[in-house]
A and B are shown apart, each in its own frame.
Chain A
Amino acid sequence: MTEAGSIKARLMPFVMENAQSKGITKVDDDDSLTESGIVDSLGIFRLVSFLEETFGIRIGDEEITNQNFESLRTIENFVTGKLAAKGEKAASR
């Protein structure tokens, strides 16, 4: 499994649980999570906490944007970038 693939696999159950609680049964990679209401003003901070805990990353307020959290794919890319930055930091120590 690629790294991005494993990110999605760990992200999926959380997103699906939120989706189901809003009556949505299917979420594609590029579906807008805000338009469908899966991520709303309450849900976004639960999602951020989940990502921080699951992937051991720190997400700043300035990173909580629609560009980063628009869809499963953008979240995956965002987390991939954060993990890569974290790895570089660790390697340079």
Chain B
Amino acid sequence: MPYILQQLLTESAKGRAEHPAVWARGRTLSYRELDQRSNQLAHLLRQRGLKKGDRIGIFFPKAVESLVAMFGALKAGVVYVPLDPNQPADRISYIIGNCGIRALVTIADRYKLLDPAAIPSVEFVVFAHELSEAFQANMIPWSALDGFPATHAPELQATTTDLAYILYTSGSTGRPKGVMLSHQNALTFVEWCAETFDIRQDDHVSNHAPLHFDLSVFDVYNSIKAGATVYMVPDEIAVFPASLTNWIVQQQITVWYSVPSALVYLVLHGRISAERLPQLRLILFAGEVFPQKYLKQLAEILPHVELYNLYGPTETNVCTYYRVDRAILPGMDKLPIGRACANTEVLAVDEQDRVVGVGEVGELYVRGPAVTPGYWGDPEKTAKMCVPNRFQANFEEKMYRTGDLVQPDENGDYYFLGRRDNQIKSRGYRIELGEIEAALLSHTGVCEAAVIAVPDDEVGNRIKAFVAPHQPGSMTAVDMQQHCATKVPKYMIPEVIELWEALPKTSTGKIDRVRLKQPRSLAAD
């Protein structure tokens, strides 16, 4: 039984050496190539002085080299941090500094966006391509890998509780926070998937989610474990539903995993049909609530495909699942998030610290080896979210508080009701409204700012902001959007920004968000 993630690759490389492991933009790497290239990168990282537990950043749009970087890091005992290639440099630099990234694997086109002075922890940079111009000693072209041993990885004493990767998610106080994930965290999920979904050697597994988003953990590691091929969806195709369907047809995708909003667009505009997608056998979705209306349409259009709703925050990866039952789907008002995955337990706990019964509402707590050890460099936040298990006293153990309010039904399935806080989902992205407010407030001309989510059938939520400048008339909504673009990812930039003289307050002097959600004529009296 594998206990560290890279064993999945070395195992598959033995029996499936010449089979393609990964496809991206028309290029593939066989299992042998991926195994050997990642061995070489691991040796390079070691030779440059990286030690077990050090961090590297992976900062380029998805390519076959993404997997080399991930496995190369793991084989060196190094923790990898996928960095969103489309995020503002300011946020990337913050993350690099926050977890002390010592090396980057990147491409020139992205690296040039970063100011080396803003990322002093970075000692060297590996480019996932050749370098034509003269380069400095700390800039290493991809061909340098050729000089390192390909047939074996460096020696590594690793355990399953070592960190494998850190995924940064939106933080309510204005800065992203790094969720630490161990090999065990990931493998708990991967093993459950292998049992449940039976991914096979001849599967073509899609990778739609970005690599900094934990949906990609399924795509990459389950495909590699099975000796199958993972197909990375090119970013520019993901935007166009009809192109995306054509791509799914051409690549003969058999297993699809994405946020529901991507599937909603395929239902509405992608011209999908059972005739065009006969090879597709499994669709998994997670990250937000799938609107029932569109799920029913999807189930009708693709009657031969098994559908699963997966649920879980980055801190636990998937912790509950529900297999869509077509016999009862037409009469269902709401889709459950289901029940706990193998090797995981979930509890709904009310405000009196009591585990709730059928039909009652509580916050979902998760326990088991899938749960994160915590947030990088933030013991306070970790203590707040990863709390001692008060429901058994035999040994010390942590549970993760999801912040999600749920309700169990008589079958043991849980239903998601909403959040306890200001976290929202838009197109599956997890967003803290507080991070956007902090971005707005960081503009010197802004006096007050508030951000609300406007529920939307197709994308979950749209983001709307209210800003009161110090001097009325001193700025426009577009100015504010441009300012946000330097602070937060594009999917967090408010679609609509209203400028007000002052924001409405509650009796306690706080910004009145309830009134902001009402039409302006009512809110601005």
Known: A41-B427, A61-B271. A21 touches B493 (CB 8 A): yes
Residues of B within 8 A of A37 (CB): 86, 490
Give every chain B residue within 8 A of A80 (Cβ-Cβ). Answer: none
- 66-119 of chain B: CB within 8 A of chain A: 86, 88
| Total number of A residues with any Cβ neighbor in B under 8 Å | 25
| Contact between chains at A22 and B493 (CB < 8 Å) | yes
Contact B240 A64 (CB under 8 A): yes
Question: Which chain B positions have C-beta within 8 A of A45?
Answer: 269
Cross-chain contact of B269 among A34, A39, A61, A66 (Cβ < 8 A)? A61
* B478 at the binding interface (Cβ < 8 Å): yes
Q: Bound complex: CA of A65 vs CA of B491, how far in Å?
A: 21
Interface: A29 (CB within 8 A):
no
Interface SS of chain B: helix, strand, loop or mixed? helix
Min CB–CB distance A28 → chain B (angstroms): 16
Q: Given the interface contacts A61-B270, A62-B242, A70-B236, does A22 sit within 8 Å of B490 by beta carbon? A: yes
Report whether A20 and B490 are in contact in the complex, using a CB–CB cutoff of 8 Å.
Answer: no
Which of A23, A24, A40 is packed against the most chain B CB atoms within 10 Å? Answer: A23
Contacting residue for A40 out of B239, B243, B270, B478, CB 8 A? B239
Contact indicator B236/A65 (Cβ below 8 Å)? no
Is residue A77 within 8 Å, beta carbon to beta carbon, of the partner chain? no
Contact status B459-A42, CB under 8 Å: yes
A45→B270 CA distance, assembly (Å)? 13
B241 at the interface (CB under 8 A from A): yes
Asked if B478 and A41 sit within 8 Å, CB to CB, the answer is: no
- Which of A20, A42, A69 is the one whose CB lies under 8 Å from B240? A69
- Interface flag for B182 (CB, 8 Å): no
Interchain CB contact under 8 A, B482 and A23 = yes
Q: Does B372 contact A (CB under 8 A)?
A: no
User: How far is A85 from B262 in the complex, measured between Cα atoms in Å?
Assistant: 32
Contact B236 A34 (CB under 8 A): yes
A21-B493, A37-B490, A41-B262 known; A64-B482 Cβ under 8 A: no
CB atoms of A65 and B243 under 8 A apart:
yes
Is B236 a contact partner of A44 (Cβ separation < 8 A)?
Answer: no
Q: Could you tell me the distance in whole angstroms from the C-beta of B396 to the nearest C-beta in chain A?
A: 45
Give B477-507 as 1s and 0s: 1 = Cβ < 8 Å from A's Cβ atoms.
Answer: 0100110111000110101000000000000
One digit per residue, 1 when the CB lies within 8 angstroms of any chain A CB and 0 when it does not, for chain B 422-433 equals 000001000000
Q: Is A35 located at the chain interface by the 8 A CB criterion?
A: yes
Report the separation of the CA atoms of residues A67 and B243 in the bound assembly, to the nearest whole angstrom.
9
Question: Closest residue of chain A to B487, judged by CB?
Answer: A23
Cα distance A61–B242 when bound, in Å?
Answer: 6
Q: What's the least CB distance linking B272 to chain A, in Å?
A: 10
Contact A40-B490, Cβ < 8 Å, known A21-B482, A62-B271: yes
Q: A24–B246 Cα gap in the complex (Å)?
A: 30
Q: Counting CB contacts under 8 A, is A17 at the interface?
A: yes
> Cα distance A17–B495 when bound, in Å?
12
Collect the chain A residues with CB atoms within 8 Å of residue B239's CB.
34, 39-41, 44, 66, 69
Shortest C-beta distance, A32 to chain B (Å), equals: 7
By the criterion CB–CB under 8 Å, are B269 and A21 in contact?
A: no
Cβ-closest chain B residue relative to A70? B236
Provide the residues of chain A in CB contact with B484, threshold 8 Å: 23
Q: Chain B, interface size: which category?
A: 20 to 34
How many Å from the CB of B218 to the closest CB on chain A? Answer: 21
A-contact bits for B227-252, CB 8 A (1 contact / 0 none): 00000000111111111001000000
Are B478 and A17 in contact (CB-based, < 8 A)?
yes
The reply to whether A22 and B481 form a contact with Cβ atoms under 8 Å apart is yes
Residues in B whose Cβ lies below 8 Å from that of A21: 478, 481-482, 485, 493
Q: Tell me, rounded to whole Å, the shortest Cβ–Cβ distance linking B77 to chain A.
A: 34
- At the interface, yes or no: B142 with Cβ under 8 Å from chain A? no
Chain B residues positioned under 8 Å from A24 (CB to CB) = 485
Q: Is B28 an interface residue (CB 8 A)?
A: no
A52 to chain B, nearest CB (A): 14
A37 to B485, CA, bound (A): 11
Q: Collect the chain A residues with CB atoms within 8 Å of residue B316's CB.
A: none
Interfacial residues of chain B within 264-295, with CB under 8 A of chain A in the complex: 265, 269-271
In B162-176, the 8 Å CB interface with A consists of: none
The CA of A65 and the CA of B237, in the complex, are separated in Å by 8
CA distance A40 to B239 in the complex (A): 6
Q: A34: nearest residue on chain B (CB-CB)?
A: B236
When C-beta atoms are compared, the residue in chain A nearest to B268 turns out to be A61
Q: Do B485 and A23 have beta carbons less than 8 Å apart?
A: yes
Per the 8 Å Cβ criterion, residues 31-58 of A in contact with B are 32, 34-35, 37, 39-42, 44-45
Bound: A45/B240 CA distance, A: 9
**How far in angstroms is the closest Cβ of chain A from B73?**
26
Q: Does B261 contact A (CB under 8 A)?
A: yes
How distant is the Cα of A39 from the Cα of B237 in the complex, in angstroms? 12
A39: which B residues are within 8 A, CB to CB?
Answer: 239
Closest Cβ neighbor of A60 among chain B residues: B242
Q: Which of A1-36 contact B (CB under 8 A)?
A: 17, 20-24, 32, 34-35
Can you give 16 A-B contacts (C-beta < 8 A)?
A: A22-B493, A23-B88, A23-B481, A23-B485, A35-B235, A37-B86, A41-B239, A41-B261, A41-B427, A41-B459, A42-B495, A65-B243, A65-B246, A66-B236, A66-B237, A66-B239
Which 5 pairs of residues, A with B, have the shortest CB-CB distance? A23-B485, A34-B236, A21-B481, A61-B269, A65-B243
A residues with a Cβ closer than 8 A to B are 17, 20-24, 32, 34-35, 37, 39-42, 44-45, 61-67, 69-70
